[in-house]
């Protein structure tokens, strides 16, 4: 019988598979982190259906939210599929579809403007422009490297991710700001958001800079992360045009159900909507 231990080689082979599937760097690291956590929990035991199911119980008892647990389960299931261990697949935690987002994690337009103004006041031109670029286009943080001098000159950027290619349009005002910043930094071509050594900013660096900024801007840290700028773009776009199909195309979603998650209102807004029904006399 072939051993089903999660060896270093098997995990390395899994990384190679994810890379061949053109998964983003952030996704690959996340999957590997979750698989290693599972391997650590197994503590040398072999992967079997019963032990795999026990890991789900462990995650929930350890205090992980159902959403987080399902995310980790998805990564491990992908590992099982890659190794042909389909019988070990773990069932997801059943979650009722949410009607609204947590208000503590909702980045408002006012929060966004405060972050922008604070970044400018602190002389952080690159960070301020980066916030505007993500929020004005709805791109993922992993797609920031696609914002190049050439893209700003053309007014559009070509983004390749997960084997798909899509083109996003860049607002004229944003293009002018990007090109002005590039001239100031003496960047003639290629990526605009670079480190001092000339490398593209990583997801981790962008995350860290935003977290530092939220302290000065007096915005709750729980609201401040790159993906929330994408959420703000999505809700603002939908309120302006009420076109979820076009929004799904802009965001690069293959399913409108994914886009729908971005449009959840906060609990407070949902409550106001219920009160406006006028059904309580």
* Region 255-262 average pLDDT: 77
User: Does residue 201 surpass a pLDDT of 90?
Assistant: yes
| pLDDT computed for residue 190 by the predictor | 95
| Token pair of 276 as six digits | 């406006």
| pLDDT computed for residue 271 by the predictor | 65
What is the C-alpha to C-alpha distance for residues 48 and 7, in angstroms, rounded to an integer?
Answer: 15
User: Does residue 97 surpass a pLDDT of 70?
Assistant: no
User: Does residue 268 surpass a pLDDT of 70?
Assistant: no
* Region 79-90 average pLDDT: 93
Other beta carbons less than 10 A from residue 271's beta carbon: 12
Long-range contacts of the stretch 155-162 (C-beta < 8 A, 24+): 159/252, 160/22, 161/22, 161/24, 161/252, 162/21, 162/22, 162/23, 162/24
Q: How far is CA 238 from the centre of its chain?
A: 19
Question: Hey, is 277 helix, strand or coil?
Answer: coil
| pLDDT computed for residue 98 by the predictor | 61
| pLDDT computed for residue 160 by the predictor | 79
**Cβ contact 220:214 at 8 Å:** yes
Q: Which of 95, 96, 67, 99 is nearest to 269 (CA)?
A: 99
The CA–CA distances, whole Å, from 222 to 6, 70, 132, 194, 258 equal 34, 21, 19, 26, 22
User: Does residue 263 surpass a pLDDT of 90?
Assistant: no
3-state secondary structure 26-92: HHHHHHHHHHHHHHHHHCCCCCCHHHHHHHHHHHHHCCCCHHHHHHHHHHHHHHHHHHCCHHHCCCC
CA atoms within 13 A on the CB side of 11: 19
| pLDDT computed for residue 212 by the predictor | 94
Tell me how long the chain is.
281
Q: Round the average pLDDT of the chain to a whole number and report it.
A: 88
Phi/psi for 265 (5° steps) reads: -85, 170
User: Does residue 137 surpass a pLDDT of 70?
Assistant: yes
**Cβ contact 194:202 at 8 Å:** no
| pLDDT computed for residue 254 by the predictor | 79
Q: Which of 138, 136, 122, 85 is nearest to 209 (CA)?
A: 122
User: Does residue 115 surpass a pLDDT of 60?
Assistant: yes
Whole-number CA gyration radius for the chain = 22
| Token pair of 143 as six digits | 């797609």
Phi/psi for 196 (5° steps) reads: -60, -25
User: Does residue 162 surpass a pLDDT of 70?
Assistant: no
| Tens digit of each residue's pLDDT (9 = 90 or more) over 219-258 | 999 899 998 999 899 989 988 888 888 888 888 887 877 7
Least confident of 59-68, 181-190, 258-267: 258-267
User: Does residue 272 surpass a pLDDT of 90?
Assistant: no
Cβ neighbours of residue 112 closer than 8 Å, sequence gap 6 or more: 131, 135, 229, 232
Instruction: Supply the DSSP symbol for 225.
Output: S
User: Does residue 15 surpass a pLDDT of 70?
Assistant: yes
User: Does residue 35 surpass a pLDDT of 60?
Assistant: yes
* Region 184-199 average pLDDT: 94
**In the block, residue with structure tokens 């800079």:** 209
* Region 58-80 average pLDDT: 92
């Amino acid at each position: 019988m072939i051993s089903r231990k999660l060896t270093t080689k098997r995990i390395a082979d899994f990384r190679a598979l994810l890379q061949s599937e053109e998964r983003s760097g952030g996704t690959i690291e996340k999957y590997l982190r979750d698989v290693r956590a599972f391997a650590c929990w197994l503590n040398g035991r072999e992967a079997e259906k019963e032990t795999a199911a026990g890991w789900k119980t462990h995650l929930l008892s350890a205090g992980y939210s159902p959403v987080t647990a399902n995310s980790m389960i998805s990564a491990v299931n992908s590992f099982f599929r890659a190794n042909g261990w389909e019988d070990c697949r773990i069932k997801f935690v059943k979650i009722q579809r949410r009607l609204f987002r947590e208000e503590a994690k909702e980045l408002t337009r006012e929060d966004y403007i405060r972050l922008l103004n604070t970044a400018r006041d602190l002389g952080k031109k690159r960070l301020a422009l980066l916030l505007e670029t993500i929020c004005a286009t709805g791109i993922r943080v992993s797609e920031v490297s696609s914002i190049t001098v050439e893209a700003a000159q053309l007014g559009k950027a070509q983004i390749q991710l997960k084997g798909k290619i899509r083109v996003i349009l860049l607002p004229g005002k944003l293009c002018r700001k990007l090109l002005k910043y590039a001239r100031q930094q003496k960047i003639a071509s290629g990526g605009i958001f670079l480190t001092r050594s000339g490398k593209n900013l990583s997801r981790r660096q962008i995350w860290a800079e935003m977290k530092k900024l939220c302290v000065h801007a007096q915005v709750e840290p729980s609201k401040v992360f790159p993906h929330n700028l994408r959420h703000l773009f999505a809700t603002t776009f939908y309120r302006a045009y009420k076109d979820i199909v076009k929004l799904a195309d802009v965001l690069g979603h293959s399913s409108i159900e994914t886009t729908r998650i971005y449009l959840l209102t906060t609990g407070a807004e949902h409550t106001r909507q219920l009160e406006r029904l006028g059904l309580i006399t």
